[in-house]
Amino acid sequence: MQKRKLGKSNLEVSAIGLGCMGLSFGLGPAVDKQTGITLIRAAVERGVTFFDTAEVYGPFTNEELVGEALAPFREQVVIATKFGFKIENGKQAGIDSRPEHIKEVAEASLKRLKTDRIDLFYQHRVDPNVPIEDVAGAVKELIQQGKVKHFGLSEAGAQTIRRAHAVQPVTALQSEYSLWWREPEAEILPTLEELGIGFVPFSPLGKGFLTGKITADTQFDKNDFRNIVPRFTPEARKVNQAVVDLISKVAEQKKATPAQIALAWVLAQKPWMAPIPGTTKVHRLEENVGAVEVELTPEDLRQIDSAVARIPVQGERYPENLQKLINR
């Protein structure tokens, strides 16, 4: 597996990481513990060293799963987790990035992850009630205490990134980015390049859509978050199929799968990007990891870009109430 450095930091990770959320939360029923452990350890065996979780996934159960699965390999891997939500009665209940809360979350996450340090600690969503300087200051203290190694932000806007970075250097920004969601290219990616911050795209497979395995007729489990995503209404899926058709054509030429083309495209954008596709199946994990072997030439990339530019993607990527938590 190729390695990449996140921005100018010395944090080195596998070119493709593993987003662990879907094992416990968000995309239908949680897998049983042993299945989750087997999948995470299969990723380690295939050279994946970058694992992404959060206290709110479950809540709590995903961190526990990741901690147990990775305990035997702790020195070989990078574990990223996140703070910033309020959790009441086992449910997410708004956001909370007060410095005292950040420190409580860090202590609890360390226990669940069975570790003495968090390699990358992200603010999950920007909290409008807490100045970002206070957030960065709280993480800085945790770094000074050796409990956290690197500070990250998720779905933050350019000004927030700059303000945070001035207090405690930001190692990585995590946001959605893929062939069908390219908004970060306008303002976010130039800001990260200028400041030397790495980028960790989540949903690089468009929440599964770019794999070609989801059609207008696909029925999602009742607990699947995609049921409320405007981009996943049957009508939107019908229109958006054009993007998948395009990727499938390229995949045929390259003797690869649509998922591998979608991931190879992300990897080709910048050397300081490390996408974190998620899966619950070992054969899909192998397929995703195989994307590092797919080479897209500058001409391939030009052709893909000009073809995608002509396809209007239909539907917002989040329902309206969640849209408000993004790019502050």
pLDDT tens digits, residue range 126-148? Answer: 999 999 999 999 999 999 999 99
Query: What is the chain's mean pLDDT, rounded?
Result: 96
Which member of 57, 122, 177, 318 is catalytic?
A: 57
Q: Which CATH superfamily is domain 3-323 in?
A: NADP-dependent oxidoreductase domain (3.20.20.100)
- pLDDT reported for residue 326: 79
> What is the token pair recorded at 268?
């080709």
The one-letter code for the residue type at 112 is R
Q: Are 123 and 154 in contact (CB under 8 A)?
A: yes
Q: Is the pLDDT of residue 325 over 80?
A: no
The mean pLDDT value for 37-41 works out to 98
What tens digit of pLDDT does each residue of 257-272 get?
A: 999 999 999 999 999 9
Backbone angles phi, psi at 52, to 5 degrees: -115, 125
- Sign for the CA dihedral angle at 207, 208, 209, 214 comes to negative
Instruction: Please name which of 257, 255, 218 lies closest in space to residue 240, comparing C-alpha atoms.
Output: 218
Which pLDDT score, from 0 to 100, does residue 216 have? 93
pLDDT per position as a tens digit, 82-111: 999 999 999 999 999 999 999 999 999 999
Give Cα separations from 168 to 7, 117, 251 (angstroms).
Answer: 15, 17, 42
CA distance linking residue 209 with residue 170, whole number of Å: 31
Residue with tokens 């800085």: 140
Domain boundaries of the chain, sorted by first residue: 3-323
Integer Cα distance of 210 and 178 in angstroms: 9
> Contact 181/155 with Cβ under 8 angstroms?
no
Cβ atoms within 10 Å of 174's Cβ, excluding its own: 25
Taking only the tens place, the pLDDT of each residue in 183-207 is 999 999 999 999 999 999 999 999 9
- What's the CA dihedral at 242, 248, 249, 255 to 10 degrees? 170
Q: Does residue 324 register a pLDDT over 90?
A: no
57 is catalytic: yes
How much of the chain exceeds pLDDT 70, in percent?
100
Distance CA 78, CA 131 (A): 28
What is the per-residue pLDDT across 165-183, written as a single tens digit (0 to 9) for each?
999 999 999 999 999 999 9
